[in-house]
Structure 1
C-alpha cells in the first residue's frame, strides 16, 4: 500500500515538473517573441526617423516658396513643417505675443508678431528671441521695424492641444505662452481667428535693427536613439536565449 502511494506521489511530482517545464518554456518563447518584436519596431522607427531628418534637411535647403503654395500644401493635407517660405506684409507690433523660451543658455521669450498681409489677414511670425528683461517692446524700440517687410523663414504647424500635462497653462493675462496655441494668441491679441493664417512662420537669421529679436531660433534637434533601443531589445533577447540554453544544459547534466 505504501509503495503504491509512494509511486502515485512520484508520478504526480513528475507530472507537475513536466507542466512546470512546459509553462516555463512557453513563457521564455513569449518573452523572446516580445523582445524581438520591440527590437524590430525600433528598427522601423529608425528608418522613419532617418527619412524625417533627411526630409527636414531637404526642406530647409530648398528655395523659399510663396505663402500661397504653403497654404495649398496644408489644405491638401501635406506636411508643411520646416518648408522654406517667403512672406511680405507689415508687422503689427502692438499685438506681439511672447512664448517662454531659452536661447544659448539665456531665459527669455520668442516674439510672435502678427504680420498683416496684403489681403488683410494676419500671419504670426516668430521673429526670434529676446532676453527676459527685454520682454517689454519699449526696451527694444529699434527692432520694431515699420513699413512693408519681406521675411524668409520656415513654416511651422499649429498645435491643436497642449503637448503634455507637464507643460504649464498659458498665462493670457501676462502675455506669456508656454505652448504655441495659435487660437489663444489670436484671441488675446484681438484678432479674428477666421482671418489668421492657420500656421506659424519662424523668421530666419536676418539681423533686426538693434540686434533684437535674435532670429533663426528654429529647433532642428530631432532625437534619434532608435538604433540604440533596438540593439538593447535584441541584446535582451539574445541574453534570454543564452540563459535558457545554459539552464537546459545544466539540467541535462
Structure 2
C-alpha cells in the first residue's frame, strides 16, 4: 500500500495544528468568561457591603493600631464620626469635577485629642472660592465634629496628571504626599469625605461623594463565551470541510 503523499501529510499536519490551536484558544476564552462570572459575584458582594457601610450608624475612625491593616474591601466607605481642631492654615486644594461644576476639594487637617491627624475633605468650592478669604465663615475655629465616609488615600495623581506638590497642584487626594508637603505630624492613611452637613457661609459643600462601582462583568463574560463558540464553530467547520475535500479527492 502506498504511503501518503507529502502534500497529504502536510495537509494533515496543518489540520491537526489548526485543531489544537483552536481548542487551546477556546479553552482560554472560556476561562476568561468564567473568570468574569466570578468577578461579577465578587463585585456584587462588594457593592452590598459598601451599601451597608454607607447606611450604617457612624463609628469612630480607625486609630493608629489599625492603620496598617486597612483595605479597600473591608474599610472603604465606612461611615465614621470624630472630633478635633481644623488646621485651616494647612488646607490643600485638590482639583475636582462634580455635579456643581469644576473647582476644588478642600482638604483640611483635623487634629484630634490623641495627637493624630486625619485629613478631612470638607467639600467642594468653585474656582472663585479657592481663596480662604472668599469663604471666611467656613474657616471653623475651635473644636468641630465631622461625620462622613472613610476613603483610602489616592496616591499618584489622576489620569495623565501627576501631582506637583512643589507647585501646589494636586489632582488626587494623596494623603502621604499632602502630609509631607504641609509638614503634618502622624497622619492617618485615609481621609474623610465630609457629609452634607452645611458649613458656615455655605462653603465648602460636602456630601458629594459618588459611590459607584462599574459592573460590566456580565457583558464581558458573554463576549468571551461567544468568542469561544465562534472559534469552536470555525474549528468544526474546518474539520468538516477538510473531510469533504478528502472524499472528493478520493472519489
Q: How high is the TM-score relative to the length of structure 2? A: 0.88
Match of 1:250 in 2: 241
2:45 is the counterpart of 1:51: yes
Is the Cα contact below 8 Å between 1:74 and 1:80 reproduced in 2?
Answer: no
> Could you list the runs of 4 or more consecutive aligned residues of structure 1 that deviate by over 4 angstroms after TM superposition?
69-73, 75-78
Residue number among 162, 167, 171 corresponding to 2:164 in the alignment: 171
Unaligned runs of 5+ in 1: 1-6
Match of 1:206 in 2: 197
Is the Cα contact below 8 Å between 2:78 and 2:149 reproduced in 1?
Answer: yes
Q: Aligned partners of 2:222 and 2:21: how far apart in 1? A: 22
2:227 is the counterpart of 1:236: yes
Q: How many residues align?
A: 241
Is the Cα contact below 8 Å between 2:94 and 2:173 reproduced in 1?
Answer: yes
Is the Cα contact below 8 Å between 1:97 and 1:176 reproduced in 2?
Answer: no
Match of 2:106 in 1: 111
Residue number among 78, 90, 96 corresponding to 1:83 in the alignment: 78
Is the Cα contact below 8 Å between 2:60 and 2:80 reproduced in 1?
Answer: yes
Match of 1:124 in 2: 119
Is the Cα contact below 8 Å between 1:151 and 1:203 reproduced in 2?
Answer: yes
Deviation at 1:163, TM superposition (A): 6.1
Is the Cα contact below 8 Å between 2:18 and 2:235 reproduced in 1?
Answer: no
Q: How high is the TM-score relative to the length of structure 1? A: 0.87
Deviation at 1:206, TM superposition (A): 0.9
Q: Aligned partners of 1:163 and 1:183: how far apart in 2? A: 12
Is the Cα contact below 8 Å between 2:58 and 2:79 reproduced in 1?
Answer: yes
CA-based RMSD of the aligned residues comes to: 2.0
Q: Aligned partners of 1:184 and 1:77: how far apart in 2? A: 18
SS in 2 for 1:66: coil
1:63-101 CA-to-partner distances (Å, cap 9, x unmatched) read 11112x465554445532111110101111111011111
2:142 is the counterpart of 1:151: no
Q: Aligned partners of 2:64 and 2:55: how far apart in 1? A: 20
Q: Aligned partners of 1:138 and 1:98: how far apart in 2? A: 14
Q: Aligned partners of 1:152 and 1:110: how far apart in 2? A: 16
Residue number among 168, 176, 199 corresponding to 1:183 in the alignment: 176
